[in-house]
Amino acid sequence: MTSEKLLTAGASPHIRSGSTTRRIMLDVIIALAPSLAAAAVIFGPRTLAVAAVTVGTCVLAEYLSRRVMKRDNTVGDLSAAVTGLILAFNLPSTIPLWMAAFGSVAAVVVVKQMFGGIGQNFVNPALTARIILMVSFPAAMTASWPGAFMWRSSADAVTSATPLALMKDGGELPSLLNMLFAKSGSLGEVCAFTLILGGVYLVIRRVISPVIPLCFIGTVAAAMFLYGLASRDDAFTFMIYELLGGGLMLGAVFMATDYATSPVNTAGRIVFAVGCGLLTFVIRIFGGMTEGVSFAILIMNILVPHIERLTAPKPFGYINEKKQKEASKA
Amino acid sequence: MPPFSVKTSGVKKNLRAGVSAPRNKNTAGLETVRIPAPRFVRIPMKMHIGEPCSPAVQVGDSVTVGQTVGSCGAELCVPIHASISGRVTEVGNIEMPDGSICTAVTIESDGQTRPFGGTAPPAPGTREDFIKAVRRSGLVGLGGAGFPTYAKLEIPAGKIDTLIVNAVECEPYITVDCRACIENPGDVLEGIALVRDFLKIKNAVIAIEDNKPGAIRSLAAEVQSKGADGVSLITLKSRYPQGAEKILVRSAAGRRLAPGQLPLDVGCLVINVSTVAFIARYMRTGRPLVSRTVTVSGPAIREPKNVRVPVGISISDVIDFCGGFSAEPYKIITGGPMTGLAVISADLPVLKQNSAIIALPEPKKIIPESACIRCGRCVRACPLKLRPTVIESLTKTGDAAALERSGAAICMECACCAYVCPAGKPLVQTMRLAKRMLSES
């Protein structure tokens, strides 16, 4: 039974679960696909052009920056493609394509690769790129949200106020059905239904744990409902519109759950998500802006190392040791 | 009839972390078969964790089954016995699976299986005699670690109130403990009774995973017919690493081991089920540990089997007995695939503590190591609540104080973290490195 090939040695374990970074990222892309399709229906084919530009630029930027930095090519892990897709979701479908490309470069080169690449960035690349674009090009990014299905009608009336702006400034709100399936806003946030669908897929595939989305959305819901009770008659409707309006679903399911910029332990994740929810509430209600999800997540991203340090689980048996010390003192 | 309970409610605390690796217990229904005496055996002088034994025989000596071929008086050492009868042809060095060099006695078979004349049932009268007898039997923990059993029993009387018999067998593929429960439930209960009687242990708990209904039925039936007061059977959810000592002490007795504590510090004694059964057989027959059952399995083995083999038989002889390879072997593992050792040659001998020989073909896809994406899977998988990804970065920065706080020292290398890692990180080596850095600082 002599075999010509040498046996392979190596440390345990000798079997692996088979999960890979690439497969995880592919799952995220699959989870995002229905929302992209919905956006294409709601805002027209230009949606796909924006997504193609952001994905293409992100992948190219990842490839080139790794090359310049003399690091191995990581395009194959698909994380750059995910960043591109999520960035597209954060843009209005009317955005000039060069701005979309600019945002992509900022996300991948500045936020991600300059800090060491995948897993090392301390803020969410797509989210930070959205904020960079909002600050750099406020007109293109916030003043002109295209309305749902307006691409089919006349070319003049292409913009409409987002539901959150309407709630803040007054105006007739879209129906609940529209809130769930097609409202105005950035191209990826408008169909809450497909976003939730994607989230369910990710939870089933065990790519994300439901802790962050549930705590995030739950905190916003509770805060908005209590605020609604105190300030207006229709507290429940108010809460529903706050949940479905704006980027909460997109942020809670796809951006707050970003591995690199959220805590690794469950207790930390709860603190992080509740913090995201509270900040979203505070910014939306008391801030000057209509939308607070991006800044809420960004601020909590920066706090992640501290949250992790404070919520670190006690290793097995360590609690006993402490108790024993106390017991021996007493 | 004394009360005997088969209870799932007896589980004090369930394991939530860990992993649900495919079990592949395809040999669970296969009765143990005895392998014909091989042409030769090579018996290493170190199959326990203490100092190696020194050979007690010389080249040219004629030996019989059960005759002492290696002895040592140091702590944590047990004697080593000839596993076949024949002539000693060589006393030389071999490289062990862990890479260390060790003296080994090679015995060429005479074709017969002549037993050693000097064996008699030890019939111990006192606790001390019992422990001495267990030591003379050459017994080490048959579950895998090679800790001499006598040393586990050397505890002050009255300090232990619970004997935990580990029949969990949570590693994939291995079914030797399961077969021990099915084939020799009488030995298991007799062994438990002996240990309890001599060490004055009040309770005994047999812990087993719920994926072994045959073994559970067999043990329950044995108790029904014979009666065993104070023995209970708890079934644990099938999940790796349920059988790890720390986890088991918590789930069976509800006690938690602080860092550095042993089960005896919390009044528990944990013994593997095959080990307990051997104690009963030894006290009955006086035949020392010269053979053991191994599960031979894995996708690269043609006919997976449970085989009773003499200690020191070469791995390749055992695999040949199981029809040889069905695919080019990539790794041959002694022990389970989660914690076992990958050997570099199939010519190495089977040791006392090897519970399995697993042959794996080359995986279709080998995940190359890539950057940590902070997915947190390792953190959720760790049964000891460590954060392997954090410990990994601490080993890189060399922050000894933070490493100390991280708790890396308690890692038991169950390999759950590396099993789930999508970045293909060798986290077990990382944890070993961390422990080494801690012991050196």
Q: Which domains does chain A have, with CATH numbers?
A: 21-311 (1.10.3430)
The answer on B136 and B23 residing in a single domain is yes
Chain B residues within 8 A of A20 when measuring between CB atoms: 367, 422, 424
Of residues B194 and A233, which shows the higher confidence score? B194
A-B CB pairs within 8 A amount to 167
Query: What is the amino acid identity at position A18?
Result: G
Burial class (CB in 10 A: 0-12, 13-18, 19+), B337: buried
Output the domain CATH number for residue B170.
3.40.50.11540
The answer on B260 and B141 residing in a single domain is yes
The answer on B257 and B405 residing in a single domain is no
β-strands B101-109, B40-44 pairing: antiparallel
The DSSP H or E segment spanning A9 is none
pLDDT-above-90 percentage for chain A: 63
Rounded CA separation B352/B61 (Å):
23
pTM for the structure as a whole: 0.90
Intervals of chain B under pLDDT 50: 1-5, 8
Contact B336, B173 (CB under 8 A): yes
Nearest Cα of chain B lies from the Cα of A96 at a distance, in angstroms, of 32
Mutation test of the interface with chain A: which of B374, B392, B411, B431, choosing the one with the most A Cβ atoms within 10 A?
A: B374
The answer on B387 and B271 residing in a single domain is no
pLDDT of residue A157 exceeding 50 = no
β-strands B162-167, B268-272 pairing: parallel
pLDDT of residue A140 exceeding 90 = no
Q: Is residue B38 part of a domain?
A: no
Rounded CA separation B151/B214 (Å):
32
Strand partners, B240: B19
The model's confidence at residue A329, banded by pLDDT at 50, 70 and 90, is low
The answer on B389 and B249 residing in a single domain is no
Q: Which are the contacts of B216, defined by CB distance < 8 A and separation ≥ 6?
A: B6, B181, B208, B210, B233, B235
Q: Which are the contacts of A134, defined by CB distance < 8 A and separation ≥ 6?
A: A141, A142, A294
Give the end of a domain, one of B229, B251, B285. B285
pLDDT tens digits, A279-296: 999 999 998 777 789 999
Q: Is residue B151 part of a domain?
A: yes
Per DSSP, the three-state class of B88 is strand
Q: Which are the contacts of B141, defined by CB distance < 8 A and separation ≥ 6?
A: B147, B148, B149, B152, B271, B272, B275, B353
pLDDT tens digits, B68-80: 999 888 888 999 9
Q: What's the number of domains chain B is made of?
A: 2
A122–chain B Cβ distance below 8 A for any pair: no
Q: Is residue B296 part of a domain?
A: no
Angle, helices A79-89 vs A97-105, to 10°: value is: 140
pLDDT of residue A151 exceeding 80 = no
What φ, ψ does residue B80 adopt, rounded to 5°? -120, 140
Q: Is residue B60 part of a domain?
A: no
pLDDT of residue A185 exceeding 70 = yes
The answer on B148 and B274 residing in a single domain is yes
Q: Is residue B114 part of a domain?
A: no
Rounded CA separation B425/B406 (Å):
19
Query: What is the amino acid identity at position A228?
Result: G
Give the end of a domain, one of B285, B305, B335. B285
Mutation test of the interface with chain A: which of B20, B315, B373, B392, choosing the one with the most A Cβ atoms within 10 A?
A: B373
Contact A274, A209 (CB under 8 A): no
The answer on B388 and B243 residing in a single domain is no
Q: Is residue B35 part of a domain?
A: no
Chain B residues within 8 A of A6 when measuring between CB atoms: 344
Residue B384 lies in domain: 377-440
Q: Is residue B393 part of a domain?
A: yes
Nearest Cα of chain B lies from the Cα of A307 at a distance, in angstroms, of 14
pLDDT tens digits, B136-195: 999 999 988 789 999 999 888 778 999 999 999 999 999 999 999 999 999 999 999 999
Average pLDDT, chain A: 88
ipTM passes above 0.95: no
Angle, helices A46-68 vs A21-43, to 10°: value is: 150
pLDDT of residue A9: 86
Longest dimension (CA), chain A: 83
Q: Is residue B170 part of a domain?
A: yes
Give the end of a domain, one of B285, B320, B350. B285
A266–chain B Cβ distance below 8 A for any pair: yes
Burial class (CB in 10 A: 0-12, 13-18, 19+), A289: middle
Longest dimension (CA), chain B: 64
CB contact under 8 A, A12 and B338: yes
pLDDT of residue B4: 47
